[in-house]
Chains A and B, each alone.
Chain A
Amino acid sequence: MSFEWPWQYNFPPFFTLQPNVDTRQKQLAAWCSLALSYCRHHKLYTLDVMEAQESPVFNNKKMERKLSIEAIQVVFEELRKKGEFSSWLDKNKSRCLVMWRRPEEWGKLIHQWVSRGAFPAHAGLSERRGGRKEFHGLEDWMLLRSLQALQTDGKAEIIIMDDGKGVKFF
């Protein structure tokens, strides 16, 4: 399924951070949803801002417009503030995590999957991940956070074993 660009993508001012406050809010909202859906589509979990600037989402080659580094940072900062859809990996805001699906949601998904009985209640982490297309490419940190979320919920327990971590589901 090819990615569908929103109308703003072809609107040149979209790539200029708008000075007018109200306009900017609308613009950022559009960017946030575009960024998230793009990442979801391509299963991107981490982003390097410099690299991202060259990716099609922030760089419309046909129009010769691209979002500035600063603006990209603003977008992800906005995502972070709005509901922790993003999180900075460093102080310089050069890399960030993109949680187009929140850990809690992941956790639920995993739990469902386990409940359907595809795996025994005990399993290593890597076993958890491999197999389902849904979890394909799910990076460690995300998996861990999701399981931690489940743990908080009381639906799982992370066990430290000799050769790594394991999970027990309830």
Chain B
Amino acid sequence: MDRFSWSNGLLEINETLVIQQRGIRLYDGDDKAKLDSGVALLSTHRLIWRDVKNHECCIAMPLSQIVFFEEQAAGIGKSAKIIIHLHATPANKETGPYQHSKYSFIKLSFKEHGQIEFHRRLTEEMTQKRWESTPASQPIPTATGSQTGRTRAVGIVGIERKIEEKRKETDKNISEAFEDLSKLMVKAKEMVELSRSIANKIKDKQGNITEDETIRFKSYLLSMGIADPVTRETHGSGTHYHMQLAKQLGDMLQVPLEERGGMMALTEVYCLVNRARGMELLSPEDLVNACKVFESLKLPLSGVMVVQLQSHSEEEMISSALDNVSDKGSLTAEEFAKLLGLSVLLSKERLLLAEKMGHLCTDDSVEGLRFYPNLF
């Protein structure tokens, strides 16, 4: 750990960020360092580590210090690690967190995973050794001699360099985008192992699945968006995404709901929402799950799902329906819809609900279905 120097963490010109990973704990050899929670940044030139709690605490080490490195797989209760073996400390190294270390290797412990990608990138950088071809502006003492001076981007060489940088940038973006995928792969791997072990246990009839494993399993499912099938409640799968979405929907639907007499069929909501969104459309399933988080979800008689303003209580709707019908003597669903600005489907639902409650009665004839106040 004495190969690290204090750093401001800023990248120099010609230095590009390759990958960064949170949840890194540092080890001086086999000993845990006090630097136990931070972000590790791999650039084309250096390995940087910044403390997540104290952003001022930032250390860096040139990649040229690295002899070789290897992976250490995760174990029970232990995160996966990358062990990095280092050259001896150069004489002109700037001060760092450790003055002296008895080890010539360090470990990065990946508490929040990401080691696979990090390892891959590190391998790339160590193979390409880009720091040798495009030296950074600040004098960083390297084992293979120092190259100072800023290299400006002028002329054709400059243009070439710009293209090169752009390529690196794109590369980085892509790799960041795939970070999630690799995390998913890791999780999936764990899940597969877990499900295999459960399957085996069931096969061998070796007692019950431990509670711990059950909890882990459920949490995996939840984070992947599958609501817990064992304890599914009608009100919400509770995934973070759906709650966020529900909030968004709530704000968005306030005005349209009022315009439409306080009630909208879920299909109408779906159309409105996706039209408004433009991009990143909602899937019907997401919409349904988000709506379940609403407290004001109403399920009228025929199973038509509807989103309803919270201000519209059931009794209010029914008594207003009754008033309307009494006023006009009798109403069909179509007339009622016209009167209230509701869709016909919803107006029928409301009238049927009022009938169910006994406030209205129906007259079924060749002329159609008509609703009367219940004088019986």
Contacts and interface: CB of A to CB of B under 8 A. Distances in A.
A19 B358 CA distance: 10
Interface stretch (A22-30, A33-41, A113-121, A140-148): A22-30
Contacts of B370: 12-13
Interface of A: 7-8, 11-13, 15-16, 18-20, 22-23, 26-27, 30, 64-65
Main secondary structure of the interface of A (DSSP, over half): helix
A20 B363 contact: no
Interface in B20-74: none
Given A16-B363, A16-B364, A11 B375 contact: yes
Contacts, number: 46
The listed residue with most A CB atoms (<10 A of its CB), out of B330, B361, B374, B376, is: B376
A30 B370 CA distance: 21
Contact of A23 (B363, B364, B365, B374): B374
Interface residues of B, number: 14
A26 B374 CA distance: 10
B355 A12 contact: no
B358 A23 contact: yes
Contacts of B356: 20
B341 to A, nearest CB: 26
Interface in B46-104: none
Contact of B362 (A7, A18, A26): A18
Contacts of A19: 355, 362
A65 B361 CA distance: 15
B372 A12 contact: yes
Contacts of A26: 376
Contacts of B374: 20, 23
7 contacts: A13-B362, A13-B376, A18-B362, A18-B376, A19-B362, A23-B355, A30-B376
Contacts of A13: 361-363, 370, 372, 376
A139 to B, nearest CB: 34
Interface in B130-173: none
A27 B376 contact: yes
Contacts of B355: 19-20, 23
A22 B363 contact: no
Interface in B326-376: 330, 355-356, 358, 361-365, 370, 372, 374-376
Contacts of B364: 16
Nearest to B373: A13
Contact of A11 (B358, B365, B372): B372
Given A18-B362, A19-B362, A12 B376 contact: no
B328 to A, nearest CB: 14
- Sorted nearest first, the 7 A-B pairs with minimum C-beta distance are A26-B376, A12-B363, A13-B363, A16-B364, A13-B361, A13-B372, A16-B363
B376 A15 contact: no
B358 A15 contact: no
Contacts of B363: 12-13, 15-16, 65
A8 B330 contact: no
